[in-house]
Homo-oligomer: A and B are copies of this chain.
Amino acid sequence: MTLPTGRRERKKAATRQKIADTALRLFLERGYDAVGIRDVAAEADVAVTTVFSHFASKEALVFEQDQDFEQRLTQAVTRRARHEPLIPALRREIEALVRHCTADSAAPIWHMVDASPALREYEESMRLRHAESLAMAIAADPDLPQTTTVCRTIARFVIDAHSLAREAADPETALDEIFRMIEAAWAATRPSTDAHSCSGTASRGRVGDSPE
């Protein structure tokens, strides 16, 4: 059992962090497109191949902590309180993540992302991965006997919520609107929970008690 504080691992983590910090600094200073991988490597005093041994691509340098994101989402499902409804738990997590993205300190980064097509594209593929992970987590919950399609659909909707709320002028209000829709979509998948159940072609489901 190697202790988690081996010198090797510390050095590796330090190198990775130095690369990420240097890259982000240069990107913000000169612009993402104006900084090459060779620049980052030189400034961080490592070889180009070392950069790519820590990060799969240039874009990955910007989204350094996306694994945290993914894990927080799945844990919002797996570690929620017993019998706690799914959607509110997800909403809490998305709300926290949106707040994190829209914080003032993160603003320059997202401005850079929005300005670069390559970064936007990369973010898109990340979102797809996150949606798949989330769908797996939902499908694995024994309290939620849903089809694969429903799990994947709800997962996509939730990820969409994050993306749309982040870009909205008023993220809080946007989350309200979007999650009202997601609640309704989720409710439409379980026509038999309580006896009310207006099933059939389910044109219009019930409208949730509007808080206004």
Contacts and interface: CB of A to CB of B under 8 A. Distances in A.
Interface in A154-208: 154, 156-157, 160-161, 163-164, 168, 172-191, 193-208
A197 B186 contact: no
A121 interface: yes
Interface stretch (A19-27, A91-99, A137-145): A91-99
A152 interface: yes
A31 interface: no
Given A92-B211, A164-B152, A200-B194, A205 B187 contact: yes
Contact of A185 (B95, B122, B182, B196): B182
Contacts of A189: 177, 180-181
A181 B168 CA distance: 23
A154 B178 CA distance: 9
